[in-house]
Amino acid sequence: MKTGGNLFENIPCLWAGEEFTKLLECKNVLIERIVSSEIPDNKVYCQPQDEWVILIKGSAQLKINDSQVQLQSGDYIFIPSNTPHQVIKTSQNCIWLAVHIY
């Protein structure tokens, strides 16, 4: 298991979608870096685990249940398990840190 690294290393330049990179998986926690393009995947997520995300770089708009949430660099949000959520809009090379709690 890799024990260290740099969050900004090997950032892909995506034309569409998102890229997920697992940074750490330990016991009941998974931490991943997510890089989003300006054309994010329109998938609706409804996961069995809790998720805490922070927007490291860029801006984004999420739909959580039926509410729209605007995020800027540094903003974070907790998404409880089994909550439908979707990325609506992002800036190019938007960088997130997601913590999944099982």
Write out pLDDT tens, residues 37-78.
999 888 999 999 999 999 999 999 999 999 999 999 999 999
1.10.287.990, 2.130.10.10, 2.60.120.10, 2.60.40.420: CATH of 18-101:
2.60.120.10
Whether 2 has a pLDDT exceeding 80, the answer reads no
Whether 1 has a pLDDT exceeding 80, the answer reads no
DSSP state letter for 43: P
What pLDDT, on the 0 to 100 scale, is given for residue 100? 98
How high does pLDDT run on average in the chain?
95
What pLDDT, on the 0 to 100 scale, is given for residue 70? 98
Give domain limits for the chain.
Answer: 18-101
Cα distances (Å, whole numbers) of residue 24 to 3, 43, 82, 85, 99: 8, 24, 22, 23, 9
pLDDT mean over 78-82: 98
Cα distances (Å, whole numbers) of residue 44 to 10, 48, 54, 89: 27, 13, 19, 13
